[in-house]
């Protein structure tokens, strides 16, 4: 197994409360690939992500000046599979399951079910290369689609808003790249990703989203078949606005900045990772939506070495 570590943070963010999703411009999907070595072989992984959002409610709804919030909590379990086609080509398939819970002072909503599956192709534009001065760099590019396979009730008979449902019933298109350069135990990575959302059956389209990230990695422990890698990252998300019947919704644009810290332990073919995300600057939904801390864990196993 190659020892180079690729840190892939493809942050297809979803802001999750009723007002959050309809005001901030985010699409109801998400995939964080996390820490991992996907250069060589087939992999299967199981990821858990917990994230939350709060939306400030108008005081007029409750007849008093006290500030009240609508709170939404997302729990996502995601099965992730990487297939090694060729020394330059990889296929990735992702199947998520979502558990969504939201509350305000007088209402509680809950839904769960399979979400929209993703299928992406990755190409190693620049395979890992080592220069005369000891620097190693590589460039990976990917594109694919999120398919309307998730649970979605177009009639909304259960009273669950479209933005709170596990699926979206729209075809979304994904494009991204990942670049890394490192030397010895250090590595720096930079990644950008773009998501183009399609129309749902009711002619509603969630916002397109753009993400960019830079991260610093350090392998601080290596012994026999065990490695431990730490990472620090800065993330920035942009939401370009929701469309309803051909018009952009008011206050549906915005941006979110987060810092993250993570660690991964690799032993033979098995790896475990954990990451913590902390928002430090955000302007979403006209300033009425705020993200809380996020937690992510993942376990992966390399099925085959090439």
pLDDT tens digits for 41-77? 788 999 998 888 877 766 544 455 556 667 788 888 9
CA 39 vs. chain centroid, Å, equals 20
Please tell me the distance from the alpha carbon of residue 144 to that of residue 178, in angstroms, as a whole number.
15
Nearest to 51 by CA among 256, 303, 198, 301: 256
Which residues in the chain come in under a pLDDT of 70? 1-40, 57-69, 105-106, 153-164, 305-306
Instruction: Output the pTM of the full model.
Output: 0.78
pLDDT at 32: 34
Tell me the C-alpha distance between 260 and 141, whole Å. 23
Predicted confidence at residue 66, as pLDDT, reads 58
The whole-number pLDDT of residue 282 equals: 86
At residue 188, the pLDDT reads 92
Instruction: Give the per-residue pLDDT at 165.
Output: 72
Fold of the domain spanning 6-55+70-304: Lipocalin (2.40.128)
Using DSSP bridges, classify how beta strands 204-205 and 243-244 pair: parallel, antiparallel or unpaired: antiparallel
pLDDT of res. 244: 73
> With the CA atoms of 73, 197, 92 and 265 taken in that order, what torsion angle do they form, in degrees rounded to the nearest 10?
-40
pLDDT score recorded for residue 158: 58
């Amino acid at each position: 197994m190659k020892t180079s570590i690729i840190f892939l943070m493809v942050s297809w963010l979803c802001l999750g409360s009723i007002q959050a999703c309809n005001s901030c411009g985010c699409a109801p999907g998400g995939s964080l690939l996390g820490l991992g070595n996907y250069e060589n072989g087939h992999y299967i992984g199981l990821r858990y992500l917990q994230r939350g959002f709060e939306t400030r409610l108008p005081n007029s709804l409750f007849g008093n000046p006290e500030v009240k919030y609508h709170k939404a909590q997302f729990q996502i379990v995601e099965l992730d599979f990487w297939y090694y086609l060729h020394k330059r080509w990889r296929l990735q398939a992702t199947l998520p399951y979502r558990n969504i819970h939201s509350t305000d002072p007088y209402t509680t909503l809950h839904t769960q079910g399979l979400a929209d599956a993703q299928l992406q192709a990755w190409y190693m534009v620049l395979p890992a290369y080592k220069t005369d001065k000891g620097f190693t760099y590589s460039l990976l590019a990917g594109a694919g689609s999120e398919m309307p396979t998730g649970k979605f009730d177009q009639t909304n008979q259960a009273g669950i808003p479209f933005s709170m449902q596990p699926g979206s019933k729209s075809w979304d298109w994904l494009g991204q790249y990942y670049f890394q350069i490192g030397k010895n135990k250090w590595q720096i990575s930079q990644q950008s990703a773009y998501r183009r959302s399609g129309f749902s059956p009711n002619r509603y389209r969630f916002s397109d989203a753009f993400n960019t990230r830079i991260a610093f990695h350090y392998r601080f422990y290596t012994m026999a078949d065990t490695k431990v890698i730490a990472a620090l990252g800065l993330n920035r998300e942009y939401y370009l606005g929701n469309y309803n019947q051909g018009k952009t919704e008011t206050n549906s644009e915005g941006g979110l900045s987060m810092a993250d810290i993570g660690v991964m332990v690799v032993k033979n073919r098995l790896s475990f990772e954990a990451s913590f995300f902390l928002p430090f600057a955000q302007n979403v939904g006209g300033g009425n939506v705020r993200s809380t801390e996020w937690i992510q864990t993942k376990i992966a196993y390399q099925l085959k070495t090439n």
